[in-house]
C-alpha cells in the first residue's frame, strides 16, 4: 500500500520523533488529524502522532517509517498490570518479552525472548521527570487476554508488571529501521485483582483517567523540548 494511503500524509512530513498510540488516545495529543487507511496522524510542534486503528498493524506501521526522518519512536498506551502495581500507575518499560505467538502462549513454551528499549531515550525521559512516580519494569507483549493468567508465574519471575499487545512488536520493528524506541504505559486493569471487564469504582476510574492524561502531557512536553 502506498505510504500516503496508509498514513494520509506524505512521507516527507514525518518528523524525527513519532508517538504511536491507540486511535481513542489521539485527542490527548491533538484535536486535528488526518484519516489514513489503517492509522490516523496528527502533528505537534516536534512530533508526528500516529494512532493505530488496529493493534495487529503496529509492526507494519513502524516498518513503513523506514526512509523517513523518524529517528525516535515513543509507544504510549494502557496495559494490564501484574504483581506489585496498581491501576493508574505510570510505567516506563525496560525489556519487552515476546509472547506474540498464540500457539506459544497456549502450550506454555518457555523459550521466550526479549529486547531492550533504548537506554539513552529512557534515561533522557526519566531525567526530565525525576519527580514523577514512574515505575521502571518489563513488559510482556501477548497475543491472548484469556491466556495471560496462565503466565502469571512467568511474569513475576521475570520482573514483568506490564502486559500489553504492542510493546515487543514496536520495539523489534523500530530496531529493524534503526530508530530508538521508548515505551510508556499506564495501568488500566490488573490481571490478578481486576481483570479486563471488571467493574471499577469511581475512585479507580478517576485515577486511571488522570494517569492517562498526565502521561500524554509528559510525552508532549518531552517531545516539544527536543
Domain of 96, CATH number, reads 3.40.50.1580
Give the pLDDT score at 226. 58
User: pTM value?
Assistant: 0.95
- Give the range of the structural domain holding residue 142, as residue numbers without chain letter: 3-224
Residue whose C-alpha cell is 502506498: 2
pLDDT at site 193: 83
Q: Considering its fold, how many domains does the chain have in total?
A: 1
Pairwise CA distance, residues 213 & 55, whole Å: 21
pLDDT of residue 39: 96
Residues in the chain: 226
Q: What is the pLDDT of residue 110?
A: 77
Helix residue spans in the chain (DSSP H): 3-7, 58-63, 102-106, 119-128, 152-157, 167-176, 202-224
Question: Residues in the chain with pLDDT < 50?
Answer: none
Q: Cell 490478578 belongs to which residue?
A: 192
- DSSP-based three-state secondary structure for 45: coil
DSSP-derived 3-state class of residue 47: strand
Amino acid at each position: 500500500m502506498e505510504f500516503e494511503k496508509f498514513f494520509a500524509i506524505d512521507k516527507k512530513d514525518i518528523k524525527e520523533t513519532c508517538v504511536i498510540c491507540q486511535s481513542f488516545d489521539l485527542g490527548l495529543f491533538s484535536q486535528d488529524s488526518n484519516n489514513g487507511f489503517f492509522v490516523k496522524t496528527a502533528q505537534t510542534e516536534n512530533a508526528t502522532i500516529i494512532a493505530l486503528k488496529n493493534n495487529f498493524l503496529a509492526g507494519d506501521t513502524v516498518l513503513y517509517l523506514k526512509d523517513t526522518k523518524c529517528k525516535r519512536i515513543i509507544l504510549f498506551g494502557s496495559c494490564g498490570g501484574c504483581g506489585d502495581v496498581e491501576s493508574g500507575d505510570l510505567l516506563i518499560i525496560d525489556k519487552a518479552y515476546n509472547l506474540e505467538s498464540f500457539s506459544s502462549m497456549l502450550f506454555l513454551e518457555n523459550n521466550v525472548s526479549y529486547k531492550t528499549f533504548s537506554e539513552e531515550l529512557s534515561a533522557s525521559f526519566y531525567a526530565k521527570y525525576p519527580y514523577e512516580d514512574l515505575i521502571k519494569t518489563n513488559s510482556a507483549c501477548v497475543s491472548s487476554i484469556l491466556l495471560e493468567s496462565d503466565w502469571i508465574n512467568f511474569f513475576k519471575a521475570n520482573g514483568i508488571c506490564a502486559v500489553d499487545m504492542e510493546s515487543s512488536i514496536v520495539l523489534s520493528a523500530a530496531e529493524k529501521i534503526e530508530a530508538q524506541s521508548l515505551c510508556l504505559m499506564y495501568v488500566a486493569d490488573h490481571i490478578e485483582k481486576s481483570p479486563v471487564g471488571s467493574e471499577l469504582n469511581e475512585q479507580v476510574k478517576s485515577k486511571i483517567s488522570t494517569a492517562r492524561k498526565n502521561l500524554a502531557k509528559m510525552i508532549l512536553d518531552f517531545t516539544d523540548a527536543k
